[in-house]
A and B are shown apart, each in its own frame.
Chain A
Amino acid sequence: MAYTSYVYLTLFLGITFLLYTIFPKKYKWVVLLSMSYLYYIAASRLWLIIFILMTTMSVYFGAIWLEKINDLFQSVKKVLDREQKKVFKEKLIWQKKMVVGLMLFVNLGTLAVLKYYNFFADVLNITLFHHIHKSLPFLKLFLPLGISFYTLQAISYVIDVYRGKYKADHCLARVALYLSFFPTIVEGPIARYDQVAHQLYEGHSFHYENLTHGAQLIVWGMFKKIVIADRANMLVNHVFDDYIQFSGLSVVIAIVFYTIQLYTEFSGCMDIVRGSAQIFSIHLPENFKQPFFSKSINEFWTRWHMTLGAWLRDYVFYSVSLSNPFKKFNHYVREHCGEYFTKLLPATTALLFVWLCNGLWHGASIKYVMYGMYYYIIMVIGMFMEPIFLRITKFLHIKKETKYFQLFQIVRTVIIVNIGMLIFRADTLTAAWQMFISCFHNFSLDFSVIGNLGLDIYDIYVIIIGVIIVFVVGLLRERGIHIRESVAKWNIVFRWAFYLAGVFSVIIFGAYGYGYDLVSFIYAQF
């Protein structure tokens, strides 16, 4: 049951909204929880529900266990002397670590087996077992819907309780709803417990503005997904599936169109997701903040898939940085290396884990690992070369504040991101490399080649106009102007005309039905 399907948009969302409105405030969570599980069953297989239930139960009891350990320390610390307190605290910290370790083992272990077993079996067979003429068997494994998303949410909840950010939740329904809320289960955003759990559980009365704003956000997301992304998909598939036949500008166009496709699709999905939640007066965190206005790759990753970036920062980067072996490494660097390396080595080492996880999270293949490494290497180069870049800009008298320089930075970032997208989309690393090289073969600015890439000229126009609209909306948001809020102040005639134009532009210009392929959400497979 895709978020763009009729059954979701009309029947499922409609019935859920009606039930949510009718139910007493105290029991509105029952509607959301039941409908979330119904969605899970309808969109997946019935028996796969066992995995999300297992995750829910494990982190629910795990968090309570952690809290009990904390409470135990609080209750006995008054009767202990300083030395006893220290020993006891150390013991309890060790116990807490064991609990978190167990939670990670259960949940990450499940994810690792279901998502990565075959990948690691392949790697081990090639590298290790090949020499001893043995091999691990490949298994036919089912990947439960949304496991990459709800597992990260579950881990963030347990670690936050471990770190004392908030107390364990004793309400199982609230934890279950936090992990299974139907709009977020397929593609995120990877929301934090303290951001959404209470919003989900407490009942919200019918709120006209939230309903209409949510619906508008859904239409905007549909526009990005159905009108732009699904149309661009045809050109992208045409070139990437037979890349040997293309070179020069054709390949460049295909790469740019894939970047457009992925951005409009994923951010469009997030708009549908956030809009779906908003009609229940639930506000989910944003996942995109005009990423193509970024001046550096670092900034790009704080604007693109923001909740994943924040998760990796909080639970991988910080966890690695604060670990004992890393502290020792840090100490060693400080002792033996100069100021330059002391400043950069620990950070870049911790980042290595972040980007390894980022790559692997996207998929169980070397290609995705390399995708992560691509960004890691660019960031590391940027960090190490910073003093040299500073000298060059000073020598050339370049003023970083000028619009031209900022535009240069934005274009540079867009180019780097497009190369990253090439790695992401190409079937293999070899294909990505061959396509990259072929960009420079027979290159000329003859834009008529676009007519030979699987789309008719009308479709190309729609994509270009669609991208201009997305760009203008992004530009306005960068300047602090929010379209929905601005339009809401218009006269009702113009306002409704604007809304109807939006809805009908999706219905008329959408790339669906006869002649178009049904395109699944790309991030739903992760």
Chain B
Amino acid sequence: MDNQLKKNSQILDISKIVIFLTIFVLILKGLSPIFSPKNNSKAYGIRYDYARGFYGENPQTIDALFIGNSDLYSAMNPLQLWHDYGYTSYVCSEPYQNVFGAYSMLKEVLTCQSPQVIFMEVDSFFSKKESDDIDAAINVALKSSFPLFEYHDRWKSLKSEDFHQDTYSYNTRIRAKGYLYHDNVEPNVEGFSYMEKKRNTNITRISRMYLKKFIQLAKENNAEVVFVWYPSATTGSQGRSKTIKELGEEFNVPVIDFNINTYDTEFDWLTDTRDGGNHLNYNGATKMTKYIGKYIDDHYNLADHRKNPSYSQWNKDYEEFMRENKIAY
């Protein structure tokens, strides 16, 4: 009798826990749309608006996608790629973006775009601790399932329209397509000597798992993946380049590693970096983009949209970008 009572009491307790957690999840689900920005612009509180300008492009018009961390938005200029080859591309890069963030970003992009080739920046693949990466993966998963975790701080700027579901309009365009222009020069006088440094080459199991998921997701959406590593004096090393090469072979993904091969881009650490080797400047980005354009031209069959009237806005964006930054064109 006692045992039965105890069992019933335990069932009741467990039921209470389950009901409580269900209510908790329902509230999370209910609050998330309220806190989510109603437009993909900075004014509405979206994180890294420049990385999310793809929402504002016409649906299914981005042919090449670039995903990665801050190295990428300093090194890849989609408007130059447009001007040189007529390929439409977007740079979805955020500071400190990791593999989990890249996966989440790809899922976001695929809601409105269908890129044929995806360049994945490998700079942030490396980390020391599995537990840190698991934490980062949970963090990204929670933010993607319940945007309240990402946008909780918007309580400071909530307006009445935030409580209406029909006010979403993700239509803000970003002229530079995710590229961040910097023309200052702060040379890295030690050049490529950083490649001799001993740096952690570990890629955690959870990172590999998400990398696999990323490639799988790209394949399911008929996109090919390319690993790219732009010159990075603060993170590059021979050991890491070797690991990336092996990773490319393992996943059957081509690798472009500017740290071990400058591919005749005439890249120069004395003129092409804006902060002593961490990020590239406009000079560096121009050289990198030139090579990437040629690479796409050689390996993929992307359409040249320059003469297509429905893409005329890209021409205007290019001209505006050059004018705004006082670059001759």
Chain A proximity of B70: nearest CB distance (Å): 15
Residues of B contacting A500 in the complex (Cβ-Cβ under 8 angstroms): 23-24, 27
Tell me if A6 and B138 are in contact (CB < 8 A).
yes
Tell me if B138 and A11 are in contact (CB < 8 A).
yes
A359 within 8 A of B: no
Known: A6-B142, A42-B131, A456-B156. A496 touches B23 (CB 8 A): yes
Known: A496-B20, A496-B23. A7 touches B150 (CB 8 A): no
Chain A to chain B: the 9 pairs with minimum beta-carbon distance, closest first: A7-B135, A208-B13, A6-B138, A42-B131, A1-B131, A458-B156, A5-B135, A7-B134, A508-B152
Known: A6-B138, A11-B134, A513-B149. A503 touches B24 (CB 8 A): yes
B148 within 8 A of A: yes
Chain B proximity of A234: nearest CB distance (Å): 13
Could you jot down 29 A-B contacts, CB within 8 Å?
A5-B135, A6-B135, A6-B139, A6-B142, A7-B131, A7-B134, A7-B135, A11-B134, A43-B131, A206-B10, A208-B13, A208-B16, A458-B155, A458-B156, A499-B20, A500-B27, A503-B24, A504-B27, A504-B31, A507-B28, A507-B148, A507-B149, A508-B148, A508-B152, A508-B155, A509-B152, A513-B149, A513-B152, A514-B150
Residues of B contacting A137 in the complex (Cβ-Cβ under 8 angstroms): none
Residue of chain B at shortest CB distance from A207: B13
B29 within 8 A of A: no
Chain B proximity of A14: nearest CB distance (Å): 11
Contact with A along B111-150 (1 / 0, CB 8 A): 0000000000000000001111011001100100000111
Residue of chain B at shortest CB distance from A10: B138
Chain A proximity of B20: nearest CB distance (Å): 6
B47 within 8 A of A: yes
Contact with B along A498-519 (1 / 0, CB 8 A): 0110011001111001111000
Residue of chain A at shortest CB distance from B130: A42
Tell me if B138 and A42 are in contact (CB < 8 A).
no
CA distance in complex: A499, B148 (Å): 18
Residue of chain A at shortest CB distance from B141: A6
CA distance in complex: A499, B16 (Å): 13
Chain B proximity of A22: nearest CB distance (Å): 13
Number of interface residues of B (CB under 8 A): 29
B153 within 8 A of A: yes
Chain B proximity of A454: nearest CB distance (Å): 15
Residue of chain A at shortest CB distance from B146: A507
Residue of chain B at shortest CB distance from A514: B47
Number of interface residues of A (CB under 8 A): 27
CA distance in complex: A458, B131 (Å): 33
Residue of chain B at shortest CB distance from A457: B156
Residues of B contacting A509 in the complex (Cβ-Cβ under 8 angstroms): 152, 155
Chain B proximity of A229: nearest CB distance (Å): 17
CA distance in complex: A218, B276 (Å): 44
Tell me if A7 and B152 are in contact (CB < 8 A).
no
CA distance in complex: A120, B138 (Å): 43
Q: Do most interface residues of chain B lie in helix, strand or loop, or is the interface mixed? A: helix
Which residues of chain B (36-62) have a CB below 8 Å from chain A?
Answer: 47
Residues of B contacting A43 in the complex (Cβ-Cβ under 8 angstroms): 131
**Residue ranges of B at the interface with A (Cβ–Cβ < 8 Å):** 9-10, 13, 16-17, 20, 23-24, 27-28, 31, 35, 47, 129-132, 134-135, 138-139, 142, 148-150, 152-153, 155-156
Tell me if B153 and A514 are in contact (CB < 8 A).
yes
Residues of A contacting B20 in the complex (Cβ-Cβ under 8 angstroms): 496, 499
Chain B proximity of A516: nearest CB distance (Å): 8
Chain B proximity of A461: nearest CB distance (Å): 10
* Other A-B pairs beyond A500-B23, A507-B152, A509-B155, 5, CB < 8 Å: A5-B135, A6-B142, A8-B135, A206-B13, A500-B24
Q: Which of A42, A206, A515 contacts B129 (CB 8 A)?
A: A42
CA distance in complex: A152, B153 (Å): 41
Residue of chain B at shortest CB distance from A209: B13
CA distance in complex: A515, B16 (Å): 36
Known: A43-B131, A496-B20. A510 touches B152 (CB 8 A): yes
CA distance in complex: A499, B134 (Å): 27
CA distance in complex: A42, B153 (Å): 30
Residues of B contacting A208 in the complex (Cβ-Cβ under 8 angstroms): 9-10, 13, 16
Residues of A contacting B13 in the complex (Cβ-Cβ under 8 angstroms): 206, 208
Residues of A contacting B47 in the complex (Cβ-Cβ under 8 angstroms): 514
Residue of chain B at shortest CB distance from A5: B135
Which of B27, B131, B142, B150: most chain A CB closer than 10 A? Answer: B131
Residues of A contacting B27 in the complex (Cβ-Cβ under 8 angstroms): 500, 504
Which of A42, A499, A514: most chain B CB closer than 10 A? Answer: A514
CA distance in complex: A515, B153 (Å): 9
CA distance in complex: A513, B149 (Å): 8
CA distance in complex: A43, B135 (Å): 12
Contact with B along A1-30 (1 / 0, CB 8 A): 100011110110000000000000000000
Residue of chain A at shortest CB distance from B142: A6
Chain B proximity of A20: nearest CB distance (Å): 15
CA distance in complex: A26, B236 (Å): 51
Tell me if B138 and A513 are in contact (CB < 8 A).
no
Chain B proximity of A13: nearest CB distance (Å): 13
CA distance in complex: A43, B47 (Å): 30
Which residues of chain A (28-58) have a CB below 8 Å from chain B?
Answer: 42-43
CA distance in complex: A492, B13 (Å): 13
Chain A proximity of B31: nearest CB distance (Å): 7
Residues of A contacting B129 in the complex (Cβ-Cβ under 8 angstroms): 42
CA distance in complex: A500, B20 (Å): 9
CA distance in complex: A208, B6 (Å): 12
Residues of B contacting A1 in the complex (Cβ-Cβ under 8 angstroms): 131-132, 135
CA distance in complex: A52, B132 (Å): 22
